[in-house]
A and B are shown apart, each in its own frame.
Chain A
């Protein structure tokens, strides 16, 4: 019997209407776990590097995490992977709530979609019964509306639906896939639309088995209480009304202006605004935290938000929280990501002010800034006029518009909008994470090691005292000695980046939520999951023997494979640059030295390509062979001088 996973993928060919249930190789669980790990393997095996994101050959993969549907609390993430039309590289997107769990109960670890449907369809999966159904009547419908209509049509309110809105149908690059109170943003929405797939509806009523169920259940029940009691995990923004951090430190507008706005008066007013309109807080499947704020705003549909999503619109528009509440539900219903969309709009309005775009580009646009945001949401969603250009994101829009618009694209890396943060001095680990993170999003790679040093030795000692999550004692020493943000050794910076990244790759393959794991260690140190307790949970769930070293090596294998997937599509060192104005004080020479050190630490060439020795050591011989055949590697690349693992250099 296969434990934790189901051992089957559902393969859908939308061009030919093909539906297959395919047994998977049991070894792939041991090598790549599940979720984005096994998805990366499928993308490597099945999508040739020449394939355009908007081509029938591109795959759109919905993966349950290996621990989804087991009793492990907070194992709620479904990953959605494909090749992004914006970057042409691998898109990693994660959504919570119930989808991956339901999929697993229906009998599948993954839903793998290829081809393109000639007309709009949706997929109905009811255990072994799978249908591709007409969705023409759902064209143009919102994400929630679509889910409700499908449930009604199927006479089943326990169905879990993931759907795109009109933005996805129109292949808007910022389009998201929405499910319940969760959203798979940043990449896969337009591909779903391109394939003519409006939604996936799943219903599963089958048993899930784990290898040592009683022991696992008991541990998980205890863990669930621990997570509930632990104030360091979950989304603090859901429960703490002091959001001075984002408002005073992040940049407003098109990632431009830092302003200190936070005050007691504002906090009180906004808190009242929230509680006057909040119905409740909800959580994802089998998680004791409740990170989603459910809001009813007059005249709008009920919606929910999580995390920094609540700030992006009003900060881009220099408005207040009531504006975000007014627009957020509308944007979600259109199926637009709340990170990149407000930046694209702010960018467009900057171009108008600069005279690069003119009033003629915005026919009938109101003068009120709030109304302008609604106007542009509509234009972008429908790809109408200037909206058709903006729908390609800031990077591409700037190049299409020309006339100096490129200068206003100042917050993208690898063609992707970044968080609106502009700082003074470089934090070296952050330089590395922004430069090299494959998810191209800082919040999806940071999280285990604190962002900044603590001012006094006593505070640092206090911090490290119960810091059980560290993979190696060395991290404590580095933290104790760290006094100024930009002054920390390259050696430490490389290991810190590696550890931060490790936790995310592990989470994204197991389906663990970053809020109980990879993202939360930096604030107080006591996170729910770490390299010491995860192996036991994998072992009890799957029956495979995992320990910390094996888990770490698995991370390295998955991470290196993801890099290889992108390298084969052209990613090189030249692309690994944080936005030029991300920090005020820059030093090109030492940054490049740091990048050299990091590549070496990872076992990559100076051009950022995993070398043959690294690949072979991780059992990725098929990658090294392919690279040599394609001339990406010669096979004689210099090897790193030191063998490294777990952030510690071995002699």
Chain B
């Protein structure tokens, strides 16, 4: 019997490769993401609720698609300005955080954080929806296996928990609990 070396396990890593040189700024990825994550599915369209946004600055020729990552409560203390091939990007051009410094990756009405879930669905999609929508191949999907050291499972906050955590931070525990109790009664 072949055994994986003790203490190691296989992990599926999903990647979206982003080629900013190929991006045309069409924002089909934003549109498609918002449709796919609407409830019920496809029932509405709204790039403001997309979990991928394209940072566009025409005057500096910047087109950077970024996917929503973790929620962060506070802005960074400092920012970096990167110059790549003579073009100036701010750190935020690449940052996936749902951060108080900007309104990306927040539900426009409630301000609740949004996070990219790689379109995990039953049955699974062949590729995440933004990748399917991008005709330019600026976004490509790759799956690979990695051997990683077996560790205690990291605390994986589910979407709902992230939302609650954000609400609690914003309004305080008591208000959230009261609202929850009130809503669950009605």
Chain A interface (Cβ < 8 Å from any Cβ of B):
69-71, 73, 98, 105, 144, 148, 157-158, 180-181, 204-210, 213-214, 216-217, 221, 224-225, 227-228, 279-288, 290, 294, 296, 301-302, 304
Contacts and interface: CB of A to CB of B under 8 A. Distances in A.
Contacts of B58: 144, 180-181, 282, 294, 302, 304
**Most chain A CB neighbours (cut-off 10 Å) among B25, B32, B42:** B25
Contacts of A301: 59
Contact of A302 (B43, B48, B59): B59
B73 interface: no
Contacts of A70: 45
B48 A213 contact: no
Nearest to B36: A217
Q: Which 10 A-B pairs have the closest CB atoms?
A: A205-B48, A205-B108, A207-B44, A288-B135, A228-B135, A213-B42, A283-B24, A290-B24, A283-B26, A279-B61
Contact of B28 (A158, A206, A224): A224
Contacts, number: 100
Given A206-B108, A280-B24, 18 more contacts: A71-B35, A144-B59, A180-B58, A206-B46, A206-B48, A209-B44, A213-B42, A213-B43, A217-B42, A225-B135, A279-B61, A282-B26, A285-B26, A286-B26, A288-B28, A288-B135, A294-B61, A302-B59
Contact of B45 (A207, A214, A279): A207
Interface size class of B (residues with CB under 8 A): 20 to 34
Contacts of A181: 58
B26 A71 contact: no
A69 B47 CA distance: 9
9 contacts: A209-B45, A210-B45, A213-B44, A224-B28, A282-B24, A282-B63, A283-B26, A285-B31, A301-B59
Contact of A205 (B25, B31, B46, B60): B46
B41 interface: yes
Contacts of B135: 224-225, 227-228, 288
B132 interface: yes
Contacts of B49: 205, 207
B94 to A, nearest CB: 15
Interface in B29-74: 31-32, 35, 38, 41-49, 56-61, 63
B132 A221 contact: yes
Nearest to A227: B135
Nearest to B29: A286
Interface string B97-122: 00000010000100000000000000
A210 B38 CA distance: 12
Nearest to B58: A180
Interface of B: 21, 23-28, 31-32, 35, 38, 41-49, 56-61, 63, 103, 108, 132-133, 135-136
Contacts of A207: 38, 44-46, 49
A288 B26 contact: yes
B61 A280 contact: yes
Contacts of B43: 209, 213
B16 to A, nearest CB: 17
Given A105-B47, A228-B135, A73 B61 contact: no
B32 A221 contact: yes
Contacts of A71: 31-32, 35, 45
Contacts of B59: 144, 148, 301-302
A69 B28 CA distance: 10
A214 B39 CA distance: 12
A13 B28 CA distance: 35
A467 to B, nearest CB: 25
A296 B135 CA distance: 25
Nearest to A229: B135
Contact of B133 (A105, A148, A216, A224): A224
A70 B150 CA distance: 46
A280 B26 contact: no
Contacts of A221: 32, 132-133
A144 B132 CA distance: 33
Contacts of A304: 58
A618 B43 CA distance: 34
A280 B63 contact: yes
Contacts of A205: 46, 48-49, 108
Given A207-B44, A208-B45, A213-B44, A286 B31 contact: yes
A537 to B, nearest CB: 14
A285 B34 CA distance: 14
Given A180-B58, A181-B58, A213-B35, A208 B24 contact: no
A144 B44 CA distance: 32
A512 B58 CA distance: 23
Contacts of A296: 61
Nearest to A210: B45
B20 to A, nearest CB: 9
Nearest to B44: A207
Contacts of A288: 26, 28, 135-136
A357 to B, nearest CB: 38
A282 B25 contact: yes
B48 A217 contact: no
Contacts of A105: 46-48
A217 B28 CA distance: 12
Nearest to A76: B26
A294 B21 CA distance: 13
A105 B48 CA distance: 9
